[in-house]
Amino acid sequence: MKPEETTILLLHGFPFGPEMWSRQRATFAAKGCRVVAPDLRLETSPATMDDMAAEAVAALDAAGARQAVVVGFSMGGYVAFALLERYPERVAGLALVDTRAEADGEEGKAGRRKLAAEALERGPQAAVDAMLGKLLSPATRERRPDVAEEAKRIMLSTSGKAIAAAALGMAERPDRTAMLSGIRVPTLVVVGEDDAITPPALARGLADAIPGAALRVLPEAGHLAVMERPEAFDEALAAWLENI
Ligand code: MLT
């Protein structure tokens, strides 16, 4: 794909916002791509993955982009599946980053409801307390305190209402494993080697289930690989884009 003819749609994770993509925005805009990074922090509860996909499509419309390479990180990956299902004609390629196709189990759903209630009561600090410790690789925790600080800052900029709405929306997302074998767009699966939330074994399963999908495992990166190892992530995405 030629960069100047490519729109990249960056779908952020939970409880983050589009700011988490600041490095990717700069890298791919400098290559000549059109970059669209919508804010998916909806406050109407539950904020379903379909609601967020509709928001992302509205952002593509506003940018005048008919099709995009959809890059979904974690919750953004769940949104990417919803977008592919509902608006397949808008998807030119798919990059699934530190994410999964499975729905939550009963324990996971209960955890979401608990976090939603706490976020409404205590605000975004509830999500920081529940999640920050699990997001980063040991290498990042030791050597890059700035990444933890930046992640925390973005999390704290998300309202308790948006956190609750997204948590409840994720709890009711459907299992997408049945759609994987029918995916016909070029697909890249990326995972941090130390991702404790969506580990590499899960990413391998995801890549194996999607016809022709490529897999990249980023060393010394955890769940938040795109912020922990932005150069490695951007290189992997750029190299894959060149070949599709
Ligand atoms: C994310 O990073 O978006 C979340 O870890 C997704 C989730 O909680 O399932």
Please measure the distance between the N-terminal and C-terminal CA atoms of the chain and give it in whole angstroms: 6
pLDDT of 5 over the 90 cut:
no
Model pLDDT, residue 1:
84
Residue boundaries of the structural domains of the chain: 3-242
Tokens at residue 21, please?
Answer: 């993509």
CA-closest residue to ligand 1 atom 4: 14
Euclidean distance between CA atoms 85 and 71, whole angstroms: 15
- Residues with Cβ < 8 Å from 47, sequence gap 6 or more? 40, 162, 165, 166, 168, 169
Nearest CA to ligand 1 atom 7: 75
Residue-wise pLDDT tens digits, 156-202: 999 999 999 999 999 999 999 999 999 999 999 999 999 999 999 99
Of 75, 136, 170, 223, which is best to mutate to test ligand 1, by the most ligand atoms within 8 angstroms of its C-beta?
75
Domain 3-242: give its CATH superfamily: Alpha/Beta hydrolase fold, catalytic domain (3.40.50.1820)
pTM above 0.85, yes or no: yes
Q: Which atom of ligand 1 is nearest to the CA of 167?
A: 8
Q: Are 79 and 173 in contact (CB under 8 A)?
A: no
Whole-number Å distance, alpha carbon 13 to ligand 1 midpoint, is 6
Instruction: Give percent of the chain above pLDDT 90.
Output: 98
Q: How much is the average pLDDT of 211-229?
A: 98
Say which residues have a Cβ less than 8 Å from residue 105's Cβ, sequence separation at least 6.
none
Atom of ligand 1 nearest to the CA of 224: 2
pLDDT of residue 181: 98
Whole-number average pLDDT of the chain: 97
Measured in Å, residue 185 CA sits from the centre of ligand 1 at 24
Coil, helix or strand for 95? strand
| 131 C-alpha to ligand 1 centroid (Å) | 9
For ligand 1, pick from 40, 41, 48, 74 the residue to mutate: most ligand atoms within 8 Å of CB: 74
Where helices occur in the chain by DSSP H, the ranges are 22-30, 49-63, 75-86, 106-122, 125-135, 138-143, 145-156, 160-171, 177-180, 200-209, 225-228, 230-242
Provide the pLDDT for residue 163: 98
Binned at pLDDT 50, 70 and 90, residue 106 comes out as: very high
Find the 69 Cα to ligand 1 centroid distance in Å: 21
- What was the pLDDT predicted at 221? 98
